[in-house]
Amino acid sequence: MRQLPIWKPILVIAVSLLALYFALPTLYEDTPPAWLKGDKIHQGLDLQGGLYLLYEVEVEKAVEQDAESLVDTVKSVMRDARFRYRSVARSGVDRVTLRLSPESEAAKIEAALKKEVADVVITPKGADGFELVFTPEKIKSTEEFAVQQAIQIMRARIDEFGVAEPSIQKQGKDRIIIQLPGVKEPERAKNLIGRTARLEFKIVDDKNNEQALATGRAPPGTALYSFQDKGDGIAPGKILLKKRTVLSGKHLDDARPSYDQYNMPYVSVKFDRLGGRIFARLTGEHVNDRMAIVLDGVVFSAPVIREKIVGGQASISGSFSPQDAHDLAIVLRAGALPAPLKILEERTVGPTLGRDSVNQGINSIVIGGILVVIFMALYYKGFGMLANVAVVLNIIILIAVLAGMQATLTLPGLAGTVLLLGMAVDANVLIFERIREELRSGKTPLAAIDHGYGKAFSTILDANITTLITAIVLFQFGTGPVRGFAVTLSIGLVASMFTAIFVTRVLLAMIVRNRRLNKLSI
Amino acid sequence: MRFFNKLTDFDFTGRRQLAFMLSGALIVVSLLSLVTQGLNFGIDFTGGTLVQVRFEQNAPIVQMRQELDKLDLGDMAIQEFGDPREALIRFEKQGKDNKEQQELLGGVMGALEGIVGKGKVEQRRVEFVGPQVGDELAEQGLLAMLLSLGAILIYVAFRFEARFAVGAVAALIHDVFLTMGFFSLIHHEFTLVVVAALLTVVGYSLNDTIVVYDRIREEMKRLKKQPLGTVINEAVNRTLSRTLVTSLTTILVLLALLVLGGAVIHDFALTLFFGVVVGTYSSIFVASPVIMFMDKGKPSPLQGGKPTVESA
């Protein structure tokens, strides 16, 4: 006690200054001055407002689409080799059934298919056909690719939407977590991110349209699609389209919002070279037909083709607001999601609620802190003040570490801080009670201090380690705010051990160093 | 200042029958409440949608109920939240996909604007949890609880003795049970945040228990000849000031949190408040006496009694 190694006070001072340096930017209301390089504490979505989304990529839809294109491939193989067959159709998520005519040569067909299609297991199905099933590896890679691509496309969309610090993470096999802090228009953001944006061009079957609408029955190769209400007087309803997609959004090069001569917003799209060629040929073949522009299965518009369109430009009109046109251009440019998204979890916190939470949280910390400080000063007098110094330093270290680690402070985290305040004094209470006991049993002040610290140490260690265990479990198994709470709790525990045991002791040693103690203020 | 001017020598272990009867009665009440009315699980666990809105004037709860009933939202609850201008709407229905979910929310906000006029109601918070995620969250919550109990059991058994570990875990289960029973009784919403609070209670209560255990271990060495009851009494009495001071400081800040922390954090603070009180009680009256039952198979009636303090 009387011999205080010089490194101890130096360590205390160094830690205090360092903590203060990292904590200061957070403590500033506005922008901190330039010499303070540290970061502010990163506030969780529940504190700064924002949007948390958990999506599931419906990967089986991506497999289904693969199966659909397998149908096309099989058909073209059969056509090219002039094999006879009865039908080819998707017969499950990951399989296609080919039914042969009785006179077709099964062995030859099987050989031809094996040559043309990869990653598929071909098995005879009954006497008159084959079943083509994707291999498990193929399905797995399709699913993985769908999730990866979905992440990429979502990122592109969010980047264009403009969010300061978006976070997009993959979770598990087919889930994506998106966090958008500070988003002011959550509805719009959700629309933008979650939209599949599958763009298709299909030809209207005007010949059978009226009859189909009347009977509700579509001739083979066609289907009734719903027509979006455009607010242009034409009632929303159904329209009969040929099922085949003649051109898709895959061939888009660019999409931009624009205004027509009546100042109505529309989206102009530019095809890539192949797309431009297909579009020119298509419009050439279908002059005077109507071509439907279908977005996510809903017909946007179905203008009559007046002439062959070369140059690879087209426009999508509808009754857009300028914002709709802008957002549509973004999703078209970023591309269609490979599979639809299902929203599993969503949490939106408005900016005003976040601000209220921060204010209320800080108020309770300050008031709670003051109550504890007053109580400690009354109960333990001089030593109580020592504990108070430790508590204040504890909070500063907590803020500094949170800011330095770029950990996220959440509402339960803030509440955890309040709780820590109450518990932070515990180590000191243990020590001081011990010192009181030692004094009671007649020890000298200095011996009482030494014994007090010594005996309390293992208790403090055991008590804190067990609490730390719960914090770690919380962190491992909690989500979002709960994890934030666990982080705050763990840092606070470690910091309180340092301040309560080490710092108070060094301060004590510095105080009593040159004085002879007859009585302790405890 | 101090709570006790003299050394206390309350006979805690002597009253253990009384304490166990009290704890037993409370557990029965909790159990009855949990069985009969269950926990009011929030959407975190059940799945569903929650919307928190703020009106310019007081929330027109009755009208809201009338208007929203027309939307056919499934099981629905509307309540004032913290401030008379704020309301919480909870409903079961969910959209099939992104778009339907949007339309659902749009419909709710539209209906509210229909009551008070456009721009006079602010959407402050929206939470939507799909049923599948709800189940997973519930599973994870339970798993976290069991795992932390397991980890604690191992740590305490390693650092102390097996019977101490049993005592500590008995006290923790006691605390968790009572707190959940309390939640069932007051019928507040049981959410993920409450689970976090529950685990914190576990941490706090354990902290308290370990401090007493540490002292019991120390006193066992000092009072080798004394019966266990005496040793435990001595340890609990010696740590009583500390137990009360720490509980008090913690309760002081929790009071600040309860009064000033706002509605969102209210249930978190309430859980902790109740848990700290129960945790303090259990570290004295449950965790320690349980060791006596574990002592050599069965308790001896002679083991209670006043502590005899040796001259130190």
What are the tens digits of pLDDT across the range B63-84? Answer: 999 999 988 888 888 989 888 9
Contact B130/A345, CB-based, under 8 Å? yes
Amino acid letter, residue A30: D
Please determine, for residue B298, whether its predicted confidence score (pLDDT) is greater than 60: no
Handedness of CA B219, B221, B222, B224 (dihedral sign): positive
Residue pair A307/A296 in contact (Cβ under 8 Å)? The answer is no
Residue A416, CA distances (Å) to A391, A419, B201 in order? 15, 5, 11
DSSP string, A413-477: HHHHHHHHHHHHHHHHHHHHHHHHHHHHTT--HHHHHHHHHHHHHHHHHHHHHHHHHHHHHHHHH
Give the tens place of pLDDT for each residue, B126-183.
Answer: 998 888 888 888 888 788 778 888 888 898 898 888 889 999 989 999 999 999 999 9
DSSP B74: S
Average pLDDT over every residue of B268-279: 92
Point out the residue among A441, A469, A482 whose CB comes nearest to the CB of B152: A469
Point out the residue among A190, A418, A473 whose CB comes nearest to the CB of B98: A190
Show residues of chain A in contact with B250, CB under 8 Å.
419, 422-423
Contact A379/B2, CB-based, under 8 Å? yes
Per-domain residue ranges of chain B? 13-41+134-296, 48-129
Average pLDDT over every residue of B213-235: 90
Q: Would you put residue A288 in left (φ > 0), alpha (ψ -120 to 50) or beta?
A: left
What pLDDT is attached to residue B302? 43
To which H or E segment does residue B263 belong? helix B263-285
A116 Cβ under 8 Å from any chain B Cβ: no
Q: Which of A418, A425, A485 to mutate to test the interface with B (most CBs of B within 10 A)?
A: A418
Sequence-separated contacts (24+) of B269-273 with Cβ below 8 Å: B269/A415, B269/B197, B270/B188, B271/B179, B271/B183, B271/B194, B271/B197, B271/B198, B271/B201, B272/A419, B272/B197, B272/B200, B272/B201, B272/B204
Nearest of B184, B169, B168, B200 to residue B269 by alpha carbon: B200
| Residue predicted with more confidence, B246 or A483 | B246
What pLDDT is attached to residue B295? 61
Contact A353/B140, CB-based, under 8 Å? no
Q: What angle do CA A498, A503, A506 make, to 5 degrees?
A: 140
Residue pair A315/A258 in contact (Cβ under 8 Å)? The answer is yes
To which H or E segment does residue B178 belong? helix B162-186
What pLDDT is attached to residue B310? 43
Residue of chain A whose Cα is closest to the Cα of B2: A379
Residue pair A497/A464 in contact (Cβ under 8 Å)? The answer is yes
| Sheet strand arrangement including A199-203 | A238-242, A222-227, A298-301, A291-295, A199-203, A247-248
- Give the separation between CA A175 and CA A398, rounded to whole angstroms: 33
Show residues of chain A in contact with B2, CB under 8 Å.
379, 436
What pLDDT is attached to residue A230? 55
SS3 A89: strand
A374 Cβ under 8 Å from any chain B Cβ: no
Give the other-Cβ count within 10 Å of A445's Cβ.
Answer: 18
What pLDDT is attached to residue B215? 93
Contact B246/A416, CB-based, under 8 Å? no
Tokens at residue A110, please?
């099987």
What pLDDT is attached to residue A170? 92
**CATH fit for domain B48-129, picks 1.10.1740.10, 3.60.70.12, 3.30.70.3400, 3.30.70.1400:** 3.30.70.3400
Strand partners, B121: B55
A462 Cβ under 8 Å from any chain B Cβ: yes
- Give the separation between CA A191 and CA A296, rounded to whole angstroms: 13
Give the tens place of pLDDT for each residue, A500-516.
Answer: 889 999 998 888 776 66
DSSP string, A94-151: TEEEEEE-TTS-HHHHHHHHHHH--SEEEEE-SSSEEEEEE-HHHHHHHHHHHHHHHH
The alpha-carbon gap from A247 to the nearest alpha carbon of chain B, in Å, equals 25
- Give the separation between CA A261 and CA A263, rounded to whole angstroms: 5
Show residues of chain A in contact with B47, CB under 8 Å.
none
Most distant CA pair in chain B, distance? 80
**Cα within 13 Å of Cα(B102), Cβ side:** 16
Point out the residue among A54, A347, A462 whose CB comes nearest to the CB of B210: A462
The alpha-carbon gap from B301 to the nearest alpha carbon of chain A, in Å, equals 30
Residue of chain B whose Cα is closest to the Cα of A363: B260
What pLDDT is attached to residue B261? 86
- Give the separation between CA B222 and CA B312, rounded to whole angstroms: 9
Show residues of chain A in contact with B152, CB under 8 Å.
466, 469-470
Show residues of chain B in contact with A475, CB under 8 Å.
none
Point out the residue among A376, A416, A458 whose CB comes nearest to the CB of B214: A458
Show residues of chain B in contact with A356, CB under 8 Å.
262
Residue of chain A whose Cα is closest to the Cα of B101: A343
Tokens at residue A220, please?
């083979």
The residue ranges of chain A whose pLDDT is under 50 are 231, 233
Residue of chain B whose Cα is closest to the Cα of A369: B253
Residue A201, CA distances (Å) to A219, A275, A276, A295 in order? 19, 11, 13, 9
SS3 B78: strand
- Give the separation between CA A258 and CA A252, rounded to whole angstroms: 16
SS3 A86: strand
Show residues of chain A in contact with B137, CB under 8 Å.
479
What pLDDT is attached to residue A63? 93
Please determine, for residue B14, whether its predicted confidence score (pLDDT) is greater than 90: no
> How much is the CA Rg of chain B, to the nearest whole Å?
25
**CATH fit for domain B13-41+134-296, picks 3.20.20.70, 1.20.1640.10, 3.40.50.12780, 2.40.50.100:** 1.20.1640.10
Question: Tell me, what's the ipTM?
Answer: 0.85
Residue of chain B whose Cα is closest to the Cα of A438: B312
Residue A308, CA distances (Å) to A199, A260, A312 in order? 21, 21, 11
**Cα within 13 Å of Cα(B205), Cβ side:** 38
Contact A423/B140, CB-based, under 8 Å? no
Q: What is the pTM of this model?
A: 0.80
Burial of B8 (0-12, 13-18, 19+ CB in 10 A): middle
- Give the separation between CA A331 and CA B18, rounded to whole angstroms: 70
What pLDDT is attached to residue A15? 93
Tokens at residue A132, please?
């083509």
Nearest of A483, A324, A474 to residue A412 by alpha carbon: A483
Point out the residue among A364, A369, A485 whose CB comes nearest to the CB of B196: A485
Give the tens place of pLDDT for each residue, A437-490.
Answer: 999 888 888 889 999 999 999 889 888 888 888 888 878 877 666 777 788 888
Surface of A (469-498) touching B: CB under 8 A: 469-471, 473-474, 476-479, 481-482, 485, 489
Surface of A (396-455) touching B: CB under 8 A: 411-412, 414-416, 418-419, 421-423, 425-426, 429-430, 433, 436-437, 440-441, 455
A348 Cβ under 8 Å from any chain B Cβ: yes
Nearest of B39, B37, B29, B7 to residue B195 by alpha carbon: B39
SS3 B124: strand
Contact A429/B106, CB-based, under 8 Å? no
Give the other-Cβ count within 10 Å of B51's Cβ.
Answer: 23
Q: Which of B257, B270, B274 to mutate to test the interface with A (most CBs of A within 10 A)?
A: B257
- Give the separation between CA B35 and CA B41, rounded to whole angstroms: 14
Q: Name all domains of chain A by residue range, CATH numbers in brackets.
A: 6-44+351-514 (1.20.1640.10), 59-133 (3.30.70), 198-326 (3.30.1360.200)
Please determine, for residue B27, whether its predicted confidence score (pLDDT) is greater than 50: yes
Question: At residue A37, what are phi and psi to the nearest 5 degrees?
Answer: -90, -20
Tokens at residue A111, please?
């050989």
Question: At residue B255, what are phi and psi to the nearest 5 degrees?
Answer: -60, -45
Tabulate helix, strand, coil % of chain B (nearest 5).
65, 10, 20
Question: At residue B222, what are phi and psi to the nearest 5 degrees?
Answer: -75, -45
Show residues of chain B in contact with A474, CB under 8 Å.
144, 148, 196, 199
> How much is the CA Rg of chain A, to the nearest whole Å?
35
Tokens at residue A174, please?
């087919």
Residue pair B124/B38 in contact (Cβ under 8 Å)? The answer is no
